[in-house]
Structure 1
Amino acid sequence: MPAILAAYIVGGEFLVRRLPDKNRPQVRPWIWVGPALILVAGFLLLPALGTIVQSFENNAGSWVGFNNYASQFSDFPSGGAWVAIRNNVIFWLIFYTVFTLVFGLILAVLFDRVRYESIVKSLIFMPMAISSVALGIIWIFMFQYSTPGEPQVGTLNAIITFFHHDPVVWLQDQWPSDKFNVLNNLALIGAATWGITGFAMVILSAALKGIPGELLEAARVDGAGEITVFRRVIFPLMMPTIVVVGTTLVIFALKAFDVVYVMTGGNYNTDVLAFRMYEQLYTAGNNGHASAVAVILLVAVIPVLIFNLRQFRAVEARR
């Protein structure tokens, strides 16, 4: 392999040098990124195209048109993939993204330029080093339920029973109803938010430190309080970075899988699209249905990804 790469580079440079001088700057980058593009095409693009084709076929390889997609949108609102779509859009897309952004921004501002800043931020970032499976197991213990009157092993139930409240079955309780269960979905989102807030905090903290101190001091000299400084100076200047972090979190939300798989297994109406794809493939053994869900997920993620890349380029252009 090293010999092949060396031959490719030498041959590419030889061809570039035979081109007119004005064309060399445009061609040379493509020579260098060529191997990477080939790998991307081989390991990402071709499987994606194969999945799209398979989404129109049954397990026997026969063409079934849009039947696999129609089955995912049948029996509104509680059948097919509707529960997973509802959970992804309403709970994960909105609450997970907003909670993580808000907590990350608050922590970035509160611990900016304070004593022991690096230690505190390292502790907050530490859950990022934990695998999603381990994170889910930790929070299973946090949410653990015992019947009333017995010692509560779960931390949250131990706290609420201390204040003479009945313990809560956090991961199974479908309050307020099984048609629109909020409690257990928010419990999952709370666990996932705990694991990812450090990521948002670090990125937003870097953006905050990029704001010139002279602007902040000038605002304070003009009589602005800390809240006004944040609203009028810090927040507007951080907005491009906030948008990039927010769209990244949207992608994470649409791909949510690990926490749901470990903590509830998609039961009690906590299903999400990625977990439904897994179930259709490995539990039901239906390749066509699983591919259809994968394509739905891909179609949902691609616009956000394109927007995120454009925002990232806009942020880089301003620097």
Structure 2
Amino acid sequence: MVLAVIAIIAIVAILLLMASLADRLKGKSRNVASVLVFVIPAFFLLGMGLIWPAVLTTYNSFFDRTSTTFVGFENYGWLFTNSDSQRAFINTAIWVLLVPVVSVLVGLLYALLIDGKKFEKVMKSLLFMPMAISFVGAGIIWRFMYDYRSAGQNQRGLLNAIIVAFGGEPVRFLQDSPLNTLFLIVVLIWVQAGFAMVLLSAAIKGIPMELIEAARLDGTNAWQMLTKITVPTIRPTLVVVYTTITIATLKVFDITQTMTGAKFQTQVLANQMYDQSFTFGNAGLGSSTAVIIFVLVIPIVVFNIRQMLKNKEVRG
């Protein structure tokens, strides 16, 4: 701890010295030096906080649990052949297929319905409120919602209390596979729909009024307005929202860990990475799982960047 504080003080002192020296220069040299004062620390932090850990994790993925014996692609072979790991892949795929699509659809529909309404701000706040809650907090809240007690006992879970009150049998929401995965997915949709709604609502309000009025004069109905005007116009925002939620879904960990402990066949890749690395002490399998998650994120990031560049070219 003391060494870390000393290192931070030393880095700050060096940066202040560099800034002072850059301020004494003149002309282009001063501009270049001023830029370097900000760029060098940024690259240093990027390298230490992202690039080096990524390289080290990739390196460890080719070694055994103690990171001492080279095993080649054995860890990756285990990931794709082990039944528990295959379940993690399947569950992650279900999450990625459902969460972004449903979150964007709910957010878009909600934004369209409340646009221009009297209590728009209040209604936006209600849907956005879950975004202020951490994933762990959301998991705890919904764990009490889904809580199960056997028939004849008092039900603490809100949903089962309602079901029993109407004469039904309590439901094992979190214990019975595969539906328990869908009930977990509902929690992330509940959190992310507000995020989608806020961005999409802002994009909808940014549609030129002249374009809307021209479409109405041409006799455009509500469905045509949505598919021909609204969605194409806000497409860049839709892409950003969809890809952002997809990346967050690929890394989901808190909800499954909090609500089921990744048991009852609800394991996802992030939970598997955690379990292998810290619960079972297998650095090789944990690192290889982390690499797989990283590789799965890359195409989404590349697609997002390409869309941003394409939109920039169109605007230019």
TM-score, normalised via structure 1 length: 0.88
**How is 1:278-293 mapped onto 2 (pairs within 5 angstroms)?**
278-293=274-289
Q: Distance in 2 between matches of 1:16 and 1:229?
A: 57
- Structure 1 residues 60, 124: closer, same or farther in 2, change over 3 A? closer
Q: Which amino acid aligns with 1:201?
A: M
Q: Equivalent of 1:145, from 140, 145, 148?
A: 148
Contact 2:60-2:67 at 8 Å conserved across structures: no
Shift in Å, 1:282: 1.2
Residue 209, structure 1, aligned to residue 208, structure 2? no
Q: What is the letter of the counterpart of residue 142 of structure 1?
A: M
Q: 1:227 aligns with which of 210, 223, 244?
A: 223
User: Are 1:73 and 2:80 an aligned pair?
Assistant: yes
Deviation at 1:14, TM superposition (A): 6.7
User: Which residue of structure 1 aligns with residue 15 of structure 2?
Assistant: 5
**The one of 14, 31, 54 aligned to 1:48:** 54
Conserved 8 A contact 1:84-1:270: yes
Q: Deviations over 1:258-314 (max 9, x none)?
A: 000001111111100000000001111111110011111111112212222333344
Give a deviation string over 1:65-101, Cα, whole Å, max 9, x none: 11111111224xxx14211111111x11111111111
Alignment of structure 1 residues 233-312 onto 2, 5 Å = 233-312=229-308
Taking only the aligned residue pairs, the percentage that are identical comes to 42
1:92 is aligned, of 91, 95, 113, to 95
Match of 2:186 in 1: 190
Determine the C-alpha separation between the residues in 1 that align with 2:77 and 2:22.
Answer: 49
Post-superposition offset of 1:2: 4.0
- For 1:133, the equivalent position in structure 2 comes to 136
Kindly indicate whether residue 179 of structure 2 is the aligned counterpart of residue 173 of structure 1.
Answer: no
Q: How far off is 1:6 after superposition?
A: 2.8
Pick the aligned partner of 1:101 from 101, 104, 124: 104
Matched, 1:64 2:66: no
8 Å CA contact 1:73–1:80 kept in 2: the answer is no
Conserved? CA contact 1:241–1:315, under 8 Å = no
Distance 1:202 1:8, change over 3 A: same
Change (3 A) 1:250 1:60: closer
Structure 2 letter corresponding to 1:83: R
Alpha-carbon shift at residue 222 of structure 1 (Å): 2.2
Per the alignment, in what secondary structure is the counterpart of residue 81 of structure 1?
Answer: helix
Look up the SS of the partner of 1:73 in the other structure.
Answer: helix
> CA separation in 1, counterparts of 2:84 and 2:284?
14
Alpha-carbon distance change, 100 to 16 in structure 1, aligned in 2, over 3 angstroms? farther
Helix, strand or coil at the partner of 1:98? helix
Please tell me the residue identity of whatever aligns with 1:43. G
1:62 is displaced (CA, Å) by 1.8
Gaps of 5+ in 1: 175-180
Q: CA deviation at 1:239?
A: 1.5
For the residues of structure 2 that align with 1:207 and 1:233, how far apart are their CA atoms? 12
**Residues 19, 34 of structure 2: 8 Å contact kept:** no
Q: Which amino acid is the alignment partner of residue 42 of structure 2?
A: A
Q: Check whether the contact 2:15–2:37 (CA below 8 A) recurs between aligned residues.
A: no
Structure 1 vs Structure 2 CA RMSD: 2.3
> Using a 3 Å threshold, how does the CA distance of structure 1 residues 218 and 260 change in structure 2: closer, same or farther?
same
Residue by residue over 1:178-214, the C-alpha shift from the partner in whole angstroms, topping out at 9 and shown as x without a partner, is xxx2x11110000111011111111111111110122
> Quick one: which amino acid aligns to residue 96 of structure 2?
L
Per residue, is there more helix in 1 or in 2?
2
Question: Structure 1 residues 16 and 294 mapped into 2: Cα distance closer, same or farther (>3 Å)?
Answer: farther
Provide the rounded CA distance (Å) in 1 between the counterparts of 2:154 and 2:308: 50
Verify the 8 A CA contact 1:203 1:245 in the aligned structure 2: yes
